[in-house]
Each structure stands twice: as structure tokens, then as C-alpha cells.
Chains A and B, each alone.
Chain A
Amino acid sequence: MRLTNSRYGFLLNLPGLLLVILWVFIPALILFLTSFLRYDNVRPIIFNGLANYKNLLNDRLFWVGMERILVFSVGTTALTFLGGLIIALALSGIARGGGILRSLMIVPWAVPAVVSGIIWKWMFSPDFGVISDLLMKIGFIDKPLSIYGDPRLAMVGVIIADSWTRIPFMGIILLAALLSIPTELHEAAKVDGASSTNRFFYVTLPLIKGPLLVGLLITAIFSFRTIDIIIPLTAGGPGRATYVFGFYIWDQIIKTLNFGMAAAASVVLFFLTAAIALIFIYYLRK
């Protein structure tokens, strides 16, 4: 007996579909159910209605996390965009040796995020930090700086470290987009007397708009859920200076063991991410 093509295609996808159902839908279902339970590993588990969500909105720490993630996510996305665009523009003008330079550009992407956090912690070290020394050498500061003593500096440090891991991806997709622009377009604009700045804004930018939005979307939604680079670097400190929203979920799971609250916060993260994605997709479709 021979299967029809459509049955055959379905059969090939069956293992994967089972994986997705087992490992995405069931956990998602458990998550939503748990978010309605009083499940704090102290008292017996009972159905609690919307109490977790109410507690969440009344928790000052929840709002601290929200504020920090907003600053962090916007900062990271902006810095990543800037860094990625400049590197991509520079690399697109290079033919010889471009391969090795491209490899160098991707290296930070390939380093485990938690390891990046460790490396940056060492570089930001208040006692032996190479960053302090370099900044002192160029005369930017006159004594070693500590990101662990200043809340603003801590946020800047965390944004720099996280952008370092994200610039490669942005660079890759922008470089691919830049290289796909036909050179004739630039030649034609040049003949018409357009300056290089004008050509950038009226030729290059509109042509890379799609990939650019995708890059921004991915950077925004990925930085929105980041904690693994911050855990070793500042652990959310000093005080709560870098306590991004992910830490709220993380602490409920591994420290306070209030699983009901963790679930409610996870559901919020889930919907916020979906909202960011939808906004970008809307602009992308336009």
C-alpha cells in the first residue's frame, strides 16, 4: 500500500509534532493551571483563583523588575543595533580578509551566556579589572571604577556585556542584507549626485528594513528574557539595580519556592513577549 503524498508528509512530521505537543503544550497547560493555585511549598495546594495575579500586581518587586527590564531591554537593543550596523557596514566594504573578520565577529555569539557573564565580571573587577585600567590609561577616569558600587553604572555594565553577546547576530543578518543590495542602485544614485549620507538613508536603509526589523525583534524578545548573563555578573545587584524581570521568576523558583507566583509571573512574561513580537510582525507585514 502506498501512502498519498500528504499522508507521507504528515508521517515525516509525526515525531516532531509529538515532541512539540509533549514538550510545549503540556508544560504550557501545566503553567496556566499552576498560576491559579496556591502552591508555595509550605501550605497545602489549593485552587486560588486570580489571587496570584493580584499579589503580583501588588508586589513592589514585580514593578521593580518591570522597570529594570524595560531599561535593560531598550538599552541592549539600541546598543546592539548601533554596534551591529556599524560592523556590518564596515565588513560589507571589505573583500579581502573578510572571512576571518567575519569569524571574529561571530565569536561572542558562540560563547555560553553564563560564561560571558563570568568573563565580564572578571573584567569589571573593582580590584584587578582590566576595564578600569584601560579607562584610566585613556584618561577617562582617574581611579578604578566599581560597577558594584553604583546602581547606574551596574545597569550600564550589564547592558554592555549583554550587547556584546548580541551584536554578532545583528551583524550577521545586517551584513547579509547589505550584501544583497545590487551595486547598480548605489551607482545610479551616485550618478544622480546623491551624497553618501543621502544614499545611506534613501537607498540602503529602505532596502534592509525587513532584516533590520527582524534583528530588532529578535534582540528585543531575547534580551527581554535574559538572566543567564546577569546571574554571575551582578546577580541583580547592587541592591536591586539590575534586578530584571526574569529574576523575579527565577527567585520564586529556586529561592522562595512559591511556584504559584512563579507561574503567574511566567504567564505575564509569556504574554509580554507575544505582545512585543506582534508589534514587530505588524510593522514587518506592512
Chain B
Amino acid sequence: MFDKIIESRALSYSVAIILLSLMMMPIYWTVVTSFKPDIETYVFPPVYFPKNPTLSPFKLLFESYPFADYLRNSIIVTVSTTFIVTVTGMLAAYGLSQYTFRGSSLTIYTLLATRIIPPLSLLLPFYLVVTWLDLVDNLLSMIIANIYLTYPFAVLIMKSFFDAFPKELIDSAIVDGCSRTGALLKIVLPVGAPGIASAAIITFLWTWNEFIYAFVFTSTSKAQPVTVGCFDCIGDIFVNWNQMCAGALLAALPGIIFVFIAQKYLIRGLTAGAMKF
């Protein structure tokens, strides 16, 4: 009897739906609050379904905070980092996976080790270098830091995808007169596209979501990304919670969109990268 219940599909569905509803609660609450007028925001017991949904929290957010600047900075830093990391990482992963060289296993171990180093412990030296180079409040400082934070994982993800290639595929292309770089462009790029996409998406999200380096490296909306911007908004004595939730929603939006349109790549990338210990 007990076995039947444990194995029933109905139980799987009910457990999954209950747990996932709990997990979704914070997201639901952010979305709902961001569309509430003030009178429905500051009441107890709280309003679960807004009676008069409004866009004014979003409007006020952009009027009272330089939120458009935050978004612009985030986009510049994230797109540049993702581009640099994906391109250099792809070359490195191709090299590591197909052409062993002296020190290639050392390179792999170094990449693994840099994954384990807590970013917080390298924050101080990075900050010192950024001040010496006079890069405080400059987008470049964050691009540099994010490359360090994302590069090792991106290479490991792409390498695990490239490792799964049949070697003959590349060898036969080279026999057919294709150069090694030609094989990269004609075979590795198209066949390895899912791996490259996974690495690019994960790099994008990590960079977009980064907070502690950005917080220390920036001081004005000239360079502050959206994560730092959101945090600055709750620094006020009185927090406008419906505007705050509107900001939180915008900050979380790229992640949420990617999760739904590229779930498969995310899952494959994260499992592939994780198993590299």
C-alpha cells in the first residue's frame, strides 16, 4: 500500500506542485507588489490580488532613481564580458579538448582551482589594483573583474561539450584539407553550438547578477549596474516597496527570460560544469 502511494504519479505531481508553488512565492510577491498602488502596498493583512493594478511604481522608479543609467551600465558590462569570455573561452576549450600540450592538465587544474577561490577573498587586491589604475567608477573595472569570475567555468563547460565530439569528425575534416582553425569554424562551432550557448548564457547571468565587486568599484550612477542600483534604493530611510519590487523585477528579468527560453542549455551547462571535479 505504502509502496503504491510512494510510486504513484499523482504523488510526484502533488509534491512537485506544492514545493514549486512555495519556491515561486517570492517571485509572485515581487510581481504583484510591483503593480500595486501605495494603499494596497502598505496594509496588513496584505493584498494577494491587486484590485487596482497600476504601472505607476515603474514610472516613479524611473523618475526618482537613475534606473535607466543602471540598466545601461549593466547591459554594457554584461554584453562585453560575455563576448570576451565566450570567444577566448571557446578557443581555450577547443585547444584543451583536442590538442594536448605540455601543461594542458596543469591548465585544467588551475581553472578548477580558480573556481574554488572565494571571490570575496580576492576583492581587496582587485580593489587595490582598480584604485592604482584609477578605474574606480569605470565600467572597465567591472568587465575585468567579471571576466575573472566567469572565465574558468565557461571554459570547463565548453570543454566538456567538445570532449564529447567524435575525434574522427575533426580528423577527417583535416585530412580533407581543412586547417585546424578551419575545423574549428566549420565543425566545432556548429556542432558545439549548444555548449557555446550554455557557456554564454551562464556567463551572461553571472555577470548581470554580480554585486559585491560592482558595489566596491562604483560610487555613482555613471557606472553602477542594476544590482547596485537596487541596493542603493533600499538604503533610503523610507523604502518605496512597490517601486523597489518593480526594480527587483527588472533586475531579475533577464534571468527569468533565459530560464524559460533556454532551460535545456542552462541545465546541460550547469550539470556539465559541475561534474568537472
Contacts and interface: CB of A to CB of B under 8 A. Distances in A.
Interface string A22-42: 011011111100100000000
A112 B91 contact: no
B87 to A, nearest CB: 9
A10 B103 CA distance: 8
Interface stretch (B22-30, B63-71, B190-198): B22-30
Interface string A193-209: 00111000000000000
Interface in A66-103: 83, 86-87, 89-94, 99, 101-103
B119 to A, nearest CB: 7
Contact of A123 (B26, B144, B212): B26
Interface string B131-149: 0000000000000100110
Nearest to A218: B274
Given A103-B259, A118-B234, A214-B275, A31 B124 contact: yes
Interface stretch (A47-55, A56-64, A260-268): A260-268
A277 to B, nearest CB: 5
- Classify chain B's interface size: 35 or more
Q: Mostly helix, strand, loop or mixed at chain B's interface? A: helix
B274 A214 contact: yes
Interface in B199-255: 205, 208-212, 215-216, 227, 230-231, 234, 241, 244-245, 248, 251-252, 254-255
A181 interface: no
Contact of B99 (A6, A16, A90, A262): A6
Interface string A124-160: 0101111011001000000010000000000000000
A238 interface: no
Contact of A13 (B96, B215, B216, B256): B96
A20 B111 contact: yes
A267 B44 contact: no
A72 B38 CA distance: 35
Contacts of B258: 110
CB-CB nearest 3 A-B residue pairs: A110-B255, A9-B99, A12-B95
Given A118-B231, A169-B270, 14 more contacts: A9-B98, A34-B124, A90-B15, A90-B19, A91-B16, A101-B20, A107-B24, A109-B255, A128-B42, A130-B25, A130-B29, A133-B45, A231-B211, A270-B118
23 contacts: A9-B99, A13-B92, A24-B114, A26-B129, A90-B12, A90-B13, A93-B11, A94-B16, A101-B17, A103-B259, A107-B23, A108-B27, A112-B227, A113-B211, A114-B230, A122-B245, A128-B42, A133-B46, A167-B23, A225-B120, A228-B212, A266-B123, A273-B116
Interface of A: 5-13, 15-17, 19-20, 23-24, 26-31, 34, 83, 86-87, 89-94, 99, 101-116, 118-123, 125, 127-130, 132-133, 136, 144, 164, 167-169, 172-173, 176, 195-197, 211, 214-215, 217-218, 221, 224-225, 227-228, 231-232, 246, 249-250, 253-254, 259, 262-263, 266-267, 269-270, 273-274, 277, 281, 284
